[in-house]
Amino acid sequence: MKHLALAAAILAAPLPACAGSLGPYTDFVVFGDSLSDPGNTLSQLPGPNPVLAAIYPQGQFTDGTTWAAQLGADLASGANFAFGGATAVTQGTISVNLPGGPYSVDLPDFAEQRALYEATAPVLGANPLAAVWFGGNDLRDAFRADDPATAAAVAIGAAVTEIVTGVQALIGGGLGTVAVFGLPDLGRIPEALALGNDASAAATAATMAFNATLQTALAGLGGGDVRYVDIFGLFDLVQTDSAAYGFTNLTTPCLVALQAGAAPDCTGFLFHDSIHPTQAAHALIADRFLAAIAPVPLPAGGVLLLGGLGGLVLLRRRGRP
């Protein structure tokens, strides 16, 4: 069956609210890639794999738990459809380069994740919330092309189209509030920094173009409450004033230090591996997400609007998740 065996596991689970810390929202459903994956991808790979378990101890692509799991959308919730390695644009089988691999897998991307969600026949409460975070893997794939600039421009258009189409479909399906994450600065993740200044600058430019295109496209949607979560801005704040946020290492992956015996744990590290943030960084992402979805009082009259004050960003593969 396509999408490995996880479809059966998700379909067997009830769809709970999992929104206890999310204020007025009655339901919380997540779609995305490794930045939101609660363990869907790693739980489907052949095992046991003690090396992989040591690298990702909670089965998530970080040293602990992601922002989504921290807010209740964990593997047991049945409400998190994110898969490490997923893209916005539907694709076929890919090679995931992880210890014990590479693994040839067919991961559900955004349209396929929505199909998994719809197959649960969810009964939603009065004020459901969805989170959508895609695009990092689409861009990182483009960066590997023979002509990265052209490939990135194509990838931006295709990914944004898929994201906006998917968000509109979620709204039409009853998820009245959808929070859409922008990307962090892909030029400042360890993977890009290792490729040199030119590659880093190009990745930064592509990230900014993606985020701008996404925000413009989202502004044209109707029928629901769409919030933009500015992750680029969040990571810029952290990387500009790292001490204020408790980080002492912004460029070296924690795993490198751990494997060299240079650090006992990931305290102070912004990145867990060359792509993914640490659990501490995910906690900041969770806080920013909560700020972005919070009801905002109007300046006059006391009427509450669910309007978006946002601010956050991050990310992916072939070393891909």
For residue 299, being part of any structural domain is answered with yes
pLDDT in tens, 254-274: 999 999 999 999 999 999 999
Within 67-223, strands assigned E span: 94-96, 103-105, 128-133, 177-181
Q: How does pLDDT run across 266-304, given as a tens digit for each residue?
A: 999 999 999 999 999 999 999 999 999 998 654 544 333
- In a domain, residue 312? The reply is no
Residue 288: strand, helix, or coil = helix
Over residues 128-166, the pLDDT tens digits come to: 999 999 999 999 999 999 999 999 999 999 999 999 999
Q: Let me know if residue 219 belongs to a domain.
A: yes
Q: Kindly report, residue by residue over 25-70, the tens digit of the pLDDT.
A: 999 999 999 999 999 999 888 877 888 889 999 999 999 999 999 9
Distance of CA 93 to the CA centre of its chain: 20
Domain range for residue 263? 6-305
pLDDT in tens, 83-106: 999 999 988 777 777 877 788 888
Residues with Cβ within 8 Å of 80's Cβ and at least 6 positions away in sequence, in order, are 29, 30, 36, 37, 38, 40, 68, 69, 73, 74
State phi, psi for 134 to the nearest 5 degrees. -135, 170
pLDDT in the model for residue 314? 27
Q: How many domains does the chain fold into?
A: 1
212 belongs to a structural domain:
yes
Please give the model's pTM, rounded to 2 decimal places. 0.88
CATH of the domain at 24: 3.40.50.1110
Cα gap 185→311, rounded to integer Å: 14
Residue 39 lies in a domain: yes
User: Is residue 47 in some structural domain?
Assistant: yes
